[in-house]
């Protein structure tokens, strides 16, 4: 069974975590919620709570095919936590498919993996993406190499189609 990581931190956008979580399970993936701490309760923007399965330090990314970064306020918090940045960098280095929606691109900016990449994100993060060397494309889903990005919760169906297509047909 293929494995996927979904990063979790306080302030995540509810549907940007739950939609990929259940859609990946439906597609046959073993999904781990990974936060700075394992077995920790994290709360969404709207009060929904999920428990992390593992801490970022306990993850061996070579066991996984996919890293999903939900948006909301969480990515801005993730980008200042060394273990989460290190995990994202390891996923880039290992060549995992990386899917980021909405503000999720903020964590990827810390990995320097956006230089020369076409991507999309929530409009308020567009300048950050461009300053990191990426090219902003205003589309519901943008796939460039092993990177899948989308703008907001309304793009979730296209985001997951793009993600699953790439991870199942590399």
Return the active site residues.
102-103
- Give the strands of the sheet with 66-69, arranged side by side: 54-55, 30-35, 3-7, 66-69, 97-101, 147-150, 142-144
**CA 90/CA 92 separation, integer angstroms:** 5
């Amino acid at each position: 069974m293929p494995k996927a990581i979904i990063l979790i931190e306080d302030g995540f956008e509810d549907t940007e975590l739950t939609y990929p979580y259940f859609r990946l399970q439906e597609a046959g993936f073993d999904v781990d919620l990974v936060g700075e701490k394992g077995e920790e309760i994290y709360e969404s923007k709207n009060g929904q709570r999920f428990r992390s399965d593992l801490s970022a330090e306990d993850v061996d990314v070579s066991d996984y095919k996919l890293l999903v970064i939900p948006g909301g306020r969480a990515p801005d918090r993730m980008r200042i936590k060394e273990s989460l940045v290190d995990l994202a960098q390891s996923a880039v280095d290992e060549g995992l498919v990386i899917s980021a929606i909405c503000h999720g691109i903020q964590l990827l900016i810390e990995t320097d993996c956006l230089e020369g990449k076409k991507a999309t994100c929530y409009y308020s993060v567009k300048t950050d993406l461009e300053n990191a060397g990426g090219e902003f494309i205003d589309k519901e889903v943008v796939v460039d190499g092993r990177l899948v990005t989308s703008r907001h919760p309304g793009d979730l169906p296209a985001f997951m189609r793009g993600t699953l297509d790439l991870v199942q047909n590399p």
